[in-house]
Structure 1
Amino acid sequence: MAHGTNDDNLTDSAGTPWAGRTLTAQPFPGDDGSADPALIAALATGDLVAITRAWAPTRAMVPIVAVLGDDGADLVASQGDKSADMALVTLVGDDEARVLPVFTSVEALQTWNPRARPVPVEAARAAQAAVVEECPRIVIDPAGAAVELPRPAVWAVAQGRDWLPPAQDPELLAGIAALVRAVPEVRAHRCEPDGEAGLVVVLGLPPGLDREQLRATTGRIGELLLTDQVVTERTESVRLAVRSV
């Protein structure tokens, strides 16, 4: 739409010109802020794979809140663009890692914090925000179901791919097998689950290796695993175990 000279001089309440701005369509037309029934059903199961799959295609509500202004006064959203500075909310988990809270509905968010403003986004964008904000995990409805998605699940949603626990991920297991085959001392190996998103790699080594040889072999494998992008993205932790074959 063409603008006249007078329109080009218009500004918002903060004095920023409207000229040159691009307005985008509402990404969720008709959204009444309620929760997705399939996601609610998945949350009730407690199955992280089912929950991640159900959450990935949904609209999520992320909370933003007013932060302190330059004068130290607590700013609220109603003050508008002139002074309010809004920030994405993150939490600190029991392990002191940052966690991004997301919500299935406006009601769930307001139950948690009635002062927070709900911002609707695609789940993938919420996951991408968690990665950018260095939040290893996402918690869905912290005042309700309080289901935490581990870092590998968050990364999977952010990248638009399906998530499986590490011990069930065929691409990951194939990659680990290729890495292990590069170390001739390893006669066999197997991968076992370690919690929801961790992995134990059990190495079959020949008997009779002395301590120095054992340390060199496991150190080499550990280095290969820790520097492999697929392994680091798709596991929360990797431990090595050794047995004689």
Structure 2
Amino acid sequence: MEHNGIAPGQDGAPAGNSGTSIPAPRHLPGHIAAALAGAGGPTDSAGQPWQGRSLAGDDGKIHNFEDDDGTADAGYLAAVSALRNGTGDEATVIASLATARVFIPIIAQLAEESEGDDGLVSDKQADMALVMLKAADGRTAMPAFTSAQALASWHPEARPVAVYAARAALSAVSEQAELLVLDPGSEVTFVVRRPGLWALAQQQTWVPSYLDGEVAGTIAEAAAAFPAVRNIGLLPGAGVATTTANGETMPGGGAGPELQVVLYLEDGLDAAAVQDLVAGLQASWSRNVLFGERVDSIEIKLRRAVQ
């Protein structure tokens, strides 16, 4: 049996074969929903509203971060450097954000106009609004910047609001964003996908789904109902890697899919049987709460089981 890619991947699987990456259910866990109930919405790490605030003092320091000079967190930079040179991983990068300060951009948004005696229209009232992005797959993403300079280069008119990354993650969830995009437009752009975003918002340790033993157990348990599945392998998906501005491939920080599920099937199955099997597995996984919380999106590869 030739291997067929249910979702296009890097091994030459044709994109014409049916099936796409599977988004996991997006309902919020109760503990996140409870945290959001007291979080208010777009506020800073001290719980103060962002709207209408003066964000930089006369000394150039950032309010609420008294000794902040606006440069990137050293721990984050070290984690990204290790990822790039092959001595680190993306889990370490996200772990470094647990204590890191980031900058969230907000921009003036016209709320009301007025017309003067001369007939000219002027701004009467303007609100400050969070900036949101649309990812290539249509999902909402919140941009965040590790340094004030990176934010200014991306949007010179945006105001930098200093918050802890965990607080930014919680605000992203409250805005129904599924991705946190760090330093868009910079040399290294790192995407925190939904499971990592939720873990950061809860200040919990994030484990990539392709290394998560409980995720593996959930997938195997569902596959046990299908005798034609002889074995299963979990690997990083094609969307884990990302490309830096200078063309370097970095093994982490991509937007997904982050999990590749390899199904080793018995020989002799026709196309209809394969499609029914895959559809049944997808339905089972989508109903599992743990799978929904810890898996952002997947791609499925089919292989012939070794006899």
TM-score range, shorter chain: 0.7 to 0.9
Greater gyration radius: 1
Would you say 1:159 and 2:159 are equivalent positions?
Answer: no
Residue aligning to 1:176: 219
Would you say 1:202 and 2:245 are equivalent positions?
Answer: no
Q: Quote the offset at 1:54 in angstroms.
A: 1.3
Distance 1:101 1:212 in 2: 43
Would you say 1:51 and 2:111 are equivalent positions?
Answer: no
Give the AA of the match of 1:230: L
Equivalences, count: 217
Q: Quote the offset at 1:125 in angstroms.
A: 1.8
Would you say 1:98 and 2:158 are equivalent positions?
Answer: no
Distance 1:226 1:219 in 2: 11
Query: 8 Å contact 1:67–1:74 — kept in the other structure?
Result: no
Query: 8 Å contact 1:48–1:149 — kept in the other structure?
Result: no
Distance 1:189 1:40 in 2: 36
SS in 2 for 1:34: coil
SS in 2 for 1:128: helix
Distance 2:277 2:156 in 1: 55
Give the AA of the match of 1:190: G
Distance 1:210 1:113 in 2: 54
Query: 8 Å contact 2:97–2:166 — kept in the other structure?
Result: no
1:147 paired residue among 184, 187, 190: 190
Query: 8 Å contact 2:133–2:141 — kept in the other structure?
Result: yes
Distance 2:260 2:150 in 1: 37
How much is the aligned-residue C-alpha RMSD, in angstroms?
A: 2.9
Distance 1:44 1:135 in 2: 27
2:164 paired residue among 122, 142, 154: 122
Query: 8 Å contact 2:132–2:140 — kept in the other structure?
Result: yes
Query: 8 Å contact 2:75–2:100 — kept in the other structure?
Result: no
Q: Compute the TM-score of the two structures, normalised by the length of structure 1.
A: 0.74
Q: Quote the offset at 1:221 in angstroms.
A: 0.8
Distance 1:213 1:27 in 2: 60
Counterparts in 2 of 1:36 and 1:239: CA distance versus 1, 3 Å: closer
* Correspondence 1:1-245 to 2 at 5 A: 28-45=65-82, 46=84, 47-71=89-113, 83-144=125-186, 145-195=188-238, 196=240, 197=256, 198-245=258-305
Distance 1:234 1:33 in 2: 33
Q: Quote the offset at 1:57 in angstroms.
A: 1.9
Residue aligning to 2:56: none
Counterparts in 2 of 1:211 and 1:141: CA distance versus 1, 3 Å: closer
Q: Quote the offset at 1:236 in angstroms.
A: 3.1
Counterparts in 2 of 1:83 and 1:130: CA distance versus 1, 3 Å: same
Partner deviation per Cα, 1:118-174 (whole Å, 9 max, x = no partner): 222221121122223233322222243322223332232123222333221222222
Q: Quote the offset at 1:105 in angstroms.
A: 2.7
SS in 2 for 1:67: strand
Which structure has more relative contact order (CA 8 Å, sep 6+)? It is 2
Distance 2:47 2:265 in 1: 59
Residue aligning to 2:22: none
Identity over the aligned pairs, expressed in percent? 35
Distance 1:153 1:231 in 2: 13
Distance 1:38 1:133 in 2: 27
Give the AA of the match of 2:201: A
Q: Quote the offset at 1:95 in angstroms.
A: 4.2
Distance 1:182 1:155 in 2: 30
Counterparts in 2 of 1:74 and 1:62: CA distance versus 1, 3 Å: farther
Query: 8 Å contact 1:66–1:74 — kept in the other structure?
Result: no
Partner deviation per Cα, 1:195-235 (whole Å, 9 max, x = no partner): 21522222233333444433332221111122323323333
Query: 8 Å contact 1:68–1:74 — kept in the other structure?
Result: no
